[in-house]
């Protein structure tokens, strides 16, 4: 669906008019859950997940058959500061790998029956180095938000928004720090595996960015210290909300992007769950700030939507049990 905004202000207007959860579907799903052939609460968090999913789909007995994975890729001017263990050309090389089916996310998408699409976002034009200038102009960040918005298939019934971008853990750390406070060291980690000197350069770059830019407005923070792929994720999560498509969040970079919406509008992440806890140090703190309990903790720190894609299976299982199980009456089982 074509994005109905062309400025940050018109995007703010859309966010303010966000779709709300269907309370009738929640009530119906709760009632059904209480009748299924199991002791009350015996499916634990799977029950909460299924009821949450039913509420956002607007259906007390939903199906989950069309998951979608979208990967946004961007390059970062801040790489000039020596903040990554890998060279910037890896971003484009990995996009080619995604397109040829060779990355982890291709295998995970296939495993869970998800349609996967990749968006290379102006890879030959990295964002500006945000230690000296805003990462993006308003036109650039709006274009990236629109790409994210338009990437969401209204016919899908679950969204995973992943990213690829050498240097983007520095952008994500700066964004998290701008949105949620604390100091640069609280949010800066080793990303793809920088050594101690690299970590010091990263922390310095984040601290410098926060001194330079006015990041008091969340979307301005995204423009000044974010990146195109982070903005793509913001646009996609917002679009999913309008189509009643639940979202599984991925790791540190995805969650940092999601935090823009969290700060921009009350309840803007209510249609999302945290797929996993990344091994990137500050992810735990970030999820805590957003009030999200991760579904999995597998030590992943890959990005590209991988942790969220792995959690598709959990949600599929939750919905299958909720909508497929017999009730006590249907199965002729005596209830307690
Ligand atoms: O998802 C995560 O939590 C995560 C943690 C560390 C690294 N990554 C991935 O690694 C890349 C960024 O790392 P870096 O060191 O270049 O900033 C980027 O492509 C991310 O997808 C992803
Ligand atoms: C090889 C490689 C693959 C990735 N996938 C997501 N981020 C990545 C970073 C690197 C370096």
Residues spanned by the domain of 286:
65-315
Q: Considering only CA atoms, which of 213, 197, 226, 209 is closest in space to residue 82?
A: 197
**How far is it, in rounded angstroms, from Cα 125 to Cα 154?**
30
pLDDT at 1: 63
Residue 128: inside a domain, yes or no?
A: yes
Judge whether 58 lies within some domain.
Answer: no
Ligand nearest, relative to CA of residue 300: 1
Q: What is the pLDDT of residue 336?
A: 82
Q: Classify residue 152 by burial, with Cβ atoms within 10 Å: 0-12, 13-18, 19+.
A: buried
Query: Residue 226: its pLDDT value, please?
Result: 98
Residue with the smallest CA separation from ligand 1 atom 11 is 166
Q: Is 27 within a domain?
A: no
Q: Which residues line ligand 1 (CB under 6 A)?
A: 84-86, 163-170, 191-192, 250-253, 278, 280, 283, 301-304
Q: Is residue 289 part of a domain?
A: yes
Predicted confidence at residue 100, as pLDDT, reads 98
Domain count along the chain: 1
* Residue 47, domain member (yes or no): no
Q: Give per-residue pLDDT as tens, 208-238.
A: 999 999 999 999 999 999 999 999 999 999 9
Q: Is 90 exposed, middle or buried (0-12, 13-18, 19+ CB in 10 A)?
A: middle
Q: State the 10-residue block means of pLDDT for the chain, 336 residues long.
A: 90 96 98 98 98 98 98 98 98 98 99 98 98 98 98 98 98 98 98 98 98 98 98 98 98 99 98 98 98 98 98 98 98 94
Q: Give me the pLDDT at residue 205, please.
A: 98
Within-domain flag for 60? no
Instruction: State the pTM of this model.
Output: 0.99
Tell me how far the alpha carbon of residue 304 lies from the centroid of ligand 1, in angstroms: 8
280 is catalytic: no
pLDDT of residue 3: 81
Residue 70 forms part of a structural domain: yes
Residue 112 belongs to domain with CATH number: 3.40.50.10210
């Amino acid at each position: 669906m074509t994005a109905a905004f062309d400025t940050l202000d018109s995007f703010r207007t859309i966010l303010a008019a966000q779709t709300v959860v269907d309370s009738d579907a929640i009530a119906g799903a709760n009632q059904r859950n209480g009748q299924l052939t199991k002791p009350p609460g015996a499916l634990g968090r799977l029950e909460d997940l299924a009821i949450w999913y039913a509420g956002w789909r607007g259906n007390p007995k939903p199906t989950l058959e069309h998951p979608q994975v979208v990967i946004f890729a961007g390059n970062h001017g801040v790489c000039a500061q020596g903040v990554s263990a890998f060279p910037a050309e890896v971003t484009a090389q990995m996009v080619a790998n995604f397109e040829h089916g060779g990355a982890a996310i291709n295998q995970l998408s296939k495993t869970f029956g998800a349609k996967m699409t990749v968006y290379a976002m102006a890879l030959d034009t990295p964002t500006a180095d945000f230690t000296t200038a805003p990462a993006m102009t308003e036109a650039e960040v709006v274009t990236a938000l629109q790409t994210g918005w338009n990437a969401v298939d209204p016919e899908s019934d679950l969204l995973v928004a992943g990213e690829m971008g050498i240097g983007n853990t520095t952008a994500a750390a700066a964004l998290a720090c701008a949105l949620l406070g604390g100091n640069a060291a609280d949010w800066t980690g080793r990303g793809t595996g920088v050594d101690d000197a690299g970590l010091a350069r990263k922390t310095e770059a984040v601290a410098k960015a926060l001194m330079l830019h006015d990041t008091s407005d969340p979307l301005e923070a995204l423009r000044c210290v974010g990146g195109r792929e982070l903005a793509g994720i913001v646009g996609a999560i917002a679009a999913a909300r309008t189509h009643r498509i639940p979202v599984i969040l991925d790791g540190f970079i995805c969650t940092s992007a999601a935090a823009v919406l969290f700060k921009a509008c009350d309840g803007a992440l209510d249609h999302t769950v945290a797929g996993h806890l990344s091994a990137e140090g500050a992810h735990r703190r970030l999820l805590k700030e957003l009030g999200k309990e991760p579904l999995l903790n597998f030590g992943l720190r890959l990005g590209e939507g991988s942790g969220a894609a792995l959690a598709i299976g959990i949600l599929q299982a939750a919905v299958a049990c909720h909508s497929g199980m017999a009730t006590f009456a249907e199965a002729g089982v005596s209830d307690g």
